[in-house]
Amino acid sequence: MFKKLAASPVIIAVILALALLLWLLSGDNYAAKTEPPGEQQVPEQTLALVEARWSEAEPYQLTRVAQGQVLPWRMVSIKSQQAGTVSQLFVSQGDKVEQGDKLLQLSDEGRSALLEQAKANLTLRQNELASAQALGKSQFVSETELTRLKSELAQAEAELERARLALQQIEPVAPFAGVIDRRHVEIGDVVQVGTELLQLVQIDKLKVTAQIPQQHVKALQQGQQVNLRLLDGRLLSGELSFISYAADTATRSFYIEVTVANPQRLRIAGGSATVEVLLPPVQAHLISPALLSLNSDGQLGVSLVNDQQQVEFYPVDILSADNEGARVSGLPERAQIITQGAGFVKPGDKVQVAGAKP
């Protein structure tokens, strides 16, 4: 009896504890069914901090530079077309001549007599043919005889032309207006066919030749302005007058010619010059080369911050680089360029610019 009474408070306590637990659980389940869950607190995200500066594009004069050679507009070596002795000289080195001016004279060597003989022979053949044709109407001369006389007349005409040409060639003339740059003979010199007599050059207009790499030739057009810098620092201006249609197989470069006016007849033909072909201006930004980077595709470019404060990567072309920096194209005309922190962000990331309001 005593044991039953002692155990009953323990049993009662256990029963009460179980009842309390069931009551608590039923209250949580009811609240979960009737009340929406509380809003979860998301930790505030911290934006990457970068430094940036605004850059404005400016017109930049593109050029293609090559080393060229200055040549006379025309140059010819006048050679003897007949054998003989130099009997007269009409010009000296440095003389200006006009087209058609006589330059020198060779000895006659009987050429005048041969010309007179050829004239007489031609007259004879003409008379013979005329007489034969008159007789041919009366059928006293055969067709074969008439054909022979016509052939002899044609031969006489050819001999006369050769005699005239031989006499003309002993007095060579200037093929164009220019300057006598060399004289290789003196009075009394005996020359043969092909002997060099004089060198004639035209330098009131010059021709500059150069080679342009194949990757640059697509930007060239005939008529573009060209600046020429001589070794002594003098500057000349010309016009791109020719671009070859096929590259040199050895160098893979294209031959170009530049026409340059030289009214003062400056003595620069034969020298070298730096050729700067002026291309149409483009909009370019001046930046530090340290701001250039490569994207995942290996493209060279610059990271910017757009109006939505997001990072954008723009591929660029380097137009020039010097002590001032690198001039690049491919960016918007007004761009906010990341100067610090570009290596810790990627395109699409939202960032905060130092000094700007978030």
Residues 207 and 221 in one domain: yes
Listed residues 221, 256, 278: the one ending a domain: 278
For 128-149, write each residue's pLDDT tens digit.
888 888 876 666 677 888 888 8
Same domain, 286 and 233: no
Q: What pLDDT is stored for residue 4 in this prediction?
A: 47
Work out whether strand 351-353 and strand 48-56 pair parallel, antiparallel, or are unpaired: parallel
Per the structure, the complete domain to which residue 206 belongs is given by 65-70+199-278
On whether the CB atoms of residues 304 and 314 are closer than 8 A, the answer is yes
pLDDT at 199 over 50: yes
Compute the radius of gyration of the chain from its Cα atoms: 49
262 and 286 belong to one structural domain: no
- pLDDT at residue 3 in the model: 46
Q: Quick one: 246 and 317 in the same domain?
A: no
Per-residue pLDDT at 357 exceeds 50: no
In a domain, 235, yes or no: yes
**What DSSP element (H or E) covers 352?**
strand 351-353
Rounded Cα–Cα distance for residues 358 and 25 (Å): 48
Work out the average pLDDT over 175-189: 96
How many structural domains comprise the chain?
3
Contact 350, 47 (CB under 8 A): yes
Q: How far apart are CA 337 and CA 358, in angstroms?
A: 17
Whether 303 maps to a domain, the answer reads yes
Q: What is the pLDDT of residue 104?
A: 96
**Do 268 and 333 share a domain, yes or no?**
no
Q: Cα(314)–Cα(336) distance, rounded to whole angstroms?
A: 12
Residues 270-280 pLDDT 10s: 999 999 998 88
Strand partners, 77: 199
Does 238 share its domain with 268? yes
Token pair, residue 220, equals 């060239």
* Domain final position from 258, 278, 298: 278
Q: 312 and 340 in one domain?
A: yes
Q: Both 304 and 338 in a single domain?
A: yes
Whether residue 254 sits in one domain with residue 304: no
- CATH number of the domain at 334, please: 2.40.420.20
Report how far apart the first and last C-alpha atoms of the chain are (Å, whole number): 82
Close Cβ partners of 196 (under 8 Å, ≥ 6 residues apart): 77, 78, 79, 184
pLDDT of residue 230: 93
Q: pLDDT tens, 45-64?
A: 588 899 999 999 999 988 88
Distance between CA atoms of 257 and 238, rounded to whole angstroms? 10
Residue 317 lies in a domain: yes
Q: Which residues pair with 183 in a beta bridge?
A: 198
282 closest CA partner among 243, 241, 356, 333 = 333
pLDDT band of 27, cuts 50, 70, 90? low
pLDDT at 58: 93
| Shared-domain flag, residues 206 and 155 | no
Mark whether 239 and 304 lie in a shared domain.
no
Q: Is 184 part of a structural domain of the chain?
A: no
pLDDT (0 to 100) of residue 147: 86
69-104 pLDDT tens trace:
999 999 999 999 999 999 999 999 999 999 999 999
273 shares its domain with 300: no
Choose among 175, 201, 177: nearest CA to 97: 177
For residue 22, tell me if it sits in a domain. no
CA-to-CA distance for 315 and 330, rounded, in angstroms? Answer: 7
Residue 4 included in any domain: no
Query: What pTM value is reported for the model?
Result: 0.67
C-beta separation of 41 from 322 below 8 A: no
Average pLDDT, the chain: 88
Is 263 inside a domain boundary?
A: yes
Residue at 264 is within a domain: yes
Residue identified by tokens 């053949």 is 125
Distance from chain centroid for Cα 3: 117
Domain edge (last residue) among 250, 278, 306: 278
